[in-house]
Amino acid sequence: MFSLGDLYQQVIIDHNKAPRNFGKLEPCTHDAEGYNPLCGDQLHVYLNINDDEIIESISFEGQGCSISTASASLMTDALKGRSVAEFNRLFAAFHHMATADLSDAPDEEVLGKLAVLSGVKEFPSRIKCATLCWHTLKSAIEHAADPAITE
Amino acid sequence: MNVNQIRQDFPILQQQIHGKPLVYLDNAATTQKPQCVIDTVRHYYEADNANIHRGVHTLSERATAAYEDAREIIRAYFNAASTQEVIFTRGTTESINLVASAWGNANVKKGDEILITHMEHHSNIVPWQMLCQRTGASLKVVPMNDAGELRMDLFAKLLSERTKLVGVVHMSNALGTLNPIESIIQQAHAVGAKVLVDGAQAASHVAVDVQALDVDFYATSAHKMYGPTGVGVLIGKQAILAAMPPYQGGGDMILTVSFDKTRYNALPHKFEAGTPNIAGVIGFGAAIKYIQSIGLAAIASHEKGLLDYASVHAGVFDGLTPIGTAANKACVLSFVIKGVHPHDLGTILDREGVAIRAGHHCAMPVMQYYKVPATARASFAMYNTKNEIDALFSALAKARAIFA
């Protein structure tokens, strides 16, 4: 059985207490709102993507549980300076990690620090907390008109 | 009242969750079911299953008798004047939608007002918003104070001859507040408004006498009263129900049908189109009988003891802010803890075997009032014990330590 310690690793506790890249980005080229109707978690992500498709700056604000806050904090840290193509690769890897079989170890080479969130898959009701920010960022990058939801 | 004996009636409570005894404190979401309700539903399917009000064969007669017996049990529990006033629905939500559609479409027009309160569940907000959109009526909201009590002074001011209906929750699911519905009904009637009371939370905790209250519509759900999910009741005054057009068309709600004209069935069948949740209704009756066998007064007194005990613990728990501190409340301890989001509390408590609700409790305006995204909520029922409240607070202490 997974223990609470697998979910609430120290890195997650730290990022929840002191989220990185927290706040509004003005001006920004892309932004989107994400919402988890089950929990009431609300998230807004902001990005500046340059002509070379590089994420020059990125931030988020909103309110949510420790998993959703830490996930957004870790995500923004991981993506600063990366390309949109790399975002797509990380999005797929993160999504796979959060929803894969328990026996399937996370691809730490691709995911790096983000692998600390792999514990969520043992807590099915919390998977959406970890993936909300990624879905929100995807709709920001794709300029989707509707707010992202995790359904 | 012997709680240990009552606990033996609930098979689900005899289990462990993550190696710890289950402490079920999510009763405001749904209550557990006693063996007698489970057995009644099972017996119906094993021995009596047939469609009702149709067949002349033995099973259909048995099923019809059991279904109509349940209607009488529920009539007596709420002291409705007649079984014609007892309409089975899918639950409180459908009961309210029935009134908002059938009564609302026929009686509400542009310029009219529907008055609800700030502490309503979404199910007593959205159907009225939809009615207002259809008709051009406007929705007014009675504010509440910081304790989570209705501002009765402002209620009186908002009430006018434009008010066609007052929709009010008897007991708030998010706060536990018991509202002064008697006074609300009297004042509403004085201006000619009808009153719908959402009794989803209250009906298993406080006695409800619809005639003494003189309430026009009272809605509740079986599953919050130790009965099955997917079944509830709308109790309405006969004269009002009789004047209302049907809600849904179909079988059972008609007397005769031709392509030219359909004559509708009498009450209560006019509002029960289609094959209903027969097993659910019969199980609902068994649940009411179970509550009556324990006694509502004894249940209420036990539950008050639990709430008082929990409130004392909450008052000395470092970092805990209670949400909803009405003078008159029951069975609900809603709170936030500094530095720990309610969802994290929910997960951590679950690992200790303690089931609570974390979220907006389908009452987002209440969350907006207190400027919180969500609360944690422990809610009590007749089978809970003080030991379980101790388990709740020791699990909360663990959660606080993880985030310290």
The reply to whether residue B359 touches residue A1, judged by beta carbons under 8 angstroms, is: no
State the nearest Cα–Cα gap between A16 and chain B, in angstroms. Answer: 9
| Minimum distance, in Å, between the CA of residue A95 and any CA atom of chain B | 21
- Domain end (from B240, B259, B292): B292
A23: left (phi over 0), alpha (psi -120 to 50) or beta: left
Give chain B's domain count: 2
Whether B282 and B300 share a structural domain: no
Site from A1, A3, A4, A125 to mutate, B interface, most B CB atoms within 10 angstroms: A4
CATH no. for residue B379?
Answer: 3.90.1150.10
Mark whether B208 and B343 lie in a shared domain.
Answer: no
Which of B286, B130, B300 shows the shortest CA–CA distance to B205?
Answer: B300
Q: How many residues does chain B have?
A: 404
Judged by CB atoms closer than 8 Å, whether chains meet at A67 and B402 is answered as no
Q: Are B200 and B219 in contact (CB under 8 A)?
A: yes
B338 shares contact with chain A (CB less than 8 Å): no
Q: Which residues of B participate in catalysis according to the annotation?
A: 362
Q: How many other C-beta atoms lie within 10 A of the C-beta of residue B267?
A: 19
Give the pairing type, strands A55-63 and B254-257: unpaired
Contact status of B348 with chain A (Cβ, < 8 Å): yes
Whether B369 and B323 have beta carbons less than 8 Å apart is answered as no
Q: Across the interface, which of A4, A39, A42 has its CB nearest the CB of B348?
A: A4
Q: Residue holding tokens 């059938």?
A: B102
Residues B113/B131, Cβ–Cβ less than 8 Å:
no
pLDDT at A122: 86
Q: Which amino acid is at B134?
A: R
| Shared-domain flag, residues B179 and B42 | yes
Using CB atoms within 10 Å of the CB of residue B338, give its burial: 0 to 12 exposed, 13 to 18 middle, 19+ buried: exposed
Q: How far is B25 from chain A (nearest CA, A)?
A: 18
pLDDT single digits (tens) B321-336? 999 999 999 999 999 9
Tell whether B342 is within 8 A of chain A (Cβ). yes
Q: Name B146's Cβ contacts closer than 8 Å, sequence gap at least 6.
A: none
Cβ separation B344–A67 shorter than 8 A: yes
In 3D space, the residue among A93, A36, A82 whose CA is nearest the CA of residue A58 turns out to be: A82
Q: Are residues A65 and B341, on separate chains, in Cβ contact within 8 Å?
A: yes
- B246 Cα to chain A: minimum distance (Å): 33
Tell whether B128 and B68 lie within a shared domain.
yes
Domain-ending residue, one of B277, B292, B307: B292
Nearest 5°: CA angle at B116, between B110 and B121?
125
Question: Could you give the CA distance from residue B112 to residue B141 in angstroms, rounded to a whole number?
Answer: 14
Identify the CA nearest to B37 among candidates B382, B289, B287: B287
CATH number for A4-142 (one of 3.90.1010.10, 3.90.1300.10, 3.60.15.10, 3.40.1160.10): it is: 3.90.1010.10
Supply A105's token pair: 């170890």
Q: Taking CA B314 as the corner, what is the angle to CA B313 and CA B317, rounded to the nearest 5 degrees?
A: 90
- Whether residues B237 and B369 share a domain: the answer is no
Domain that holds residue B304: 3-30+296-402
My answer on whether B110 and B161 are in the same domain is yes
Residue ranges of domains in chain A: 4-142
Could you tell me if B97 and B234 lie in one domain?
yes
What residue in B sits closest to A39 (Cα-Cα)? Answer: B359
B364/A4 Cβ within 8 A: no
User: What's the distance, Cα to Cα, between the start and end of chain A in Å?
Assistant: 27
Burial class (CB in 10 A: 0-12, 13-18, 19+), B58: exposed
B117 contacts B168 by C-beta, under 8 angstroms: yes
Q: Which site among A11, A12, A65, A121 would you substitute to test the B interface, given the most B Cβ atoms closer than 10 Å to its Cβ?
A: A65
pLDDT in tens, B88-114: 999 999 999 999 999 999 999 999 999
pLDDT tens digits in sequence order for chain A, 151 residues long: 567 888 898 999 999 999 999 999 999 999 999 998 777 789 999 999 999 999 999 999 998 999 999 999 999 999 999 999 999 999 999 999 998 877 778 888 889 999 999 989 888 888 999 999 999 999 999 976 566 666 5
* Residue where a domain stops, chosen among B234, B266, B292: B292
| Euclidean distance between CA atoms B358 and A68, whole angstroms | 15
Q: Are residues B171 and B250 in the same domain?
A: yes
Instruction: Supply the pLDDT for residue A137.
Output: 96
* A3 burial via Cβ count (<10 Å: 0-12, 13-18, 19+): exposed
Instruction: Say how far apart CA A110 and CA B129 lie, in whole Å.
Output: 49
CATH number at residue B102: 3.40.640.10
Taking CB atoms and an 8 Å limit, are B343 and A129 in contact across chains? yes
All residue ranges of chain B with pLDDT < 70 are none
pLDDT of residue A1: 52
User: Residue B269: is it exposed, middle or buried by C-beta count within 10 angstroms (0-12/13-18/19+)?
Assistant: middle
Within this chain, do residues B135 and B26 fall inside the same structural domain, yes or no? no
> Are residue B286 and residue B384 in the same domain, yes or no?
no
B300 shares a domain with B276: no
Least CB–CB distance from B347: residue in A63, A64, A123: A123
Q: Does residue B243 sit in the same domain as residue B325?
A: no
Best mutation target, B17, B126, B341, to test chain A (most A CBs within 10 A): B341
What pLDDT, on a 0 to 100 scale, did the predictor assign at position A146? 64
| Cα separation, A4 vs A66, whole angstroms | 13
